[in-house]
Amino acid sequence: MTAQEVVIPDIGDAEDVEVIELCVGPGDSVEIDGALIVIESDKASMEVPSPFAGTVAEIRVELGDVVNSGHVVAVLEVTREASRGSNEEPKAVEPPPMVAPAAPKAPPPARPEPPPPAAAELDGAADGAGVYAGPAVRRLARELGVNLGDVRGSGPRRRIVKDDVKGFVKTAMARGPANAATALPAMPAIDFSKFGPVEEVPLTRIRKRGAGNLHRSWLNVVHVTQHDEADITDLDGFRRSLADQAEARGVKLTLLPFIVKACAENLGAFPRFCASLNPAVDGLILKHYRHIGFAVDTDDGLIVPVLRDVDRKGVWALAAEIAELSALARNGRLTPDRLSGGCFTVSSLGRLGGTGFTPIVNAPEVAILGVGRLETKPRWNGAAFEPRAMLPLSLSYDHRALNGVEGGNFVVELTRLLGDIRRLVL
């Protein structure tokens, strides 16, 4: 047997992710693709799988450690490697096999230690002496001119991570000079304990990052919301008629796959809704693909997995993929590539949705569709009232990229598609 190091795979633009679970320990056996640890970024949690089968010789991370791509997490006594012909990339093949345990080529990022912090972490930072932060964070703070003593840490034991420093700078920039006419007035600090018992519960990283993203979108996007109702009596009847087929396929057939399919068709007819404003806000970047995100409510916060190439998939395939991604999101097992690349978002509140709401655009996208609660209502057919299944739709869009006529036309055509799904095959 040979010893092999396993490293954190490419996690995209995520930085300083936290180790939230150790799935194995020294002496444990692990199969190919078996989970070694679970890490959490600002968007979701993901497992770090083993590219080898063998025995765990050493775990080189601890709960609460902050790691990045390429960080060594474990050393395995390898009995079998993943096939090179498989769809999975051999992400943890480097460095080449060596006698274990071998010293890493570069020291790993600093790990959180119980207070008091290590002397190395306090060295050379007069403006932040006595705070809990690693060398990389202190270097970033010096570059940005941030006093770490003013920053609230979100890591284990209030450790300050890079996102805390960046968030502090963004907040300071948003406030601007104290006497600036455009500065947002600060909310007053209130001691609520004067009125009764209180408890402060920290936000998860996903909820905190989601709050920041929504705040940024609300401040930067010129929101307009168009409301309408779609008569989906025939669509809902057709969906219910497929119940036996859905059960045979092991798929729960909801309205959502029909809705995202209709949205993908509509994006082809209205390409400006499948775009993003360029950084100078003087042009549109039109996207020639139709990747649609859908909001999933989880215990950690709202997560938006992305369905790719919706226009090329049928309703059955979409229903199965929606169920799969929803389960991964709720179990904290979505990988970053399943959370990026969307060009339009659908937020469906299902039975809880009420008669309408104003969803916030998921910038840099320019539009989002909110779906309310399906309700049976009387509708005049020219001779008498008859019961019809009406679905509330709320389209929010960026008025800098789209005007009211375009928003109205998009919603009208979407209601036509949902009212007669035969139009999807034309």
Which residues belong to the active site?
Answer: 399
Residues 72, 306: Cα–Cα separation, whole Å = 29
398, β-bridge pairs = 223
Residues 209, 213: Cα–Cα separation, whole Å = 6
Burial class of 194 by CB neighbour count within 10 A (0 to 12, 13 to 18, 19+): exposed
Helix axes 404-419, 256-269, angle to 10 degrees: 130
Strands 292-294 and 344-348: parallel
Q: Where does residue 54 fall: left (phi above 0), alpha (psi -120 to 50 degrees), or beta otherwise?
A: left
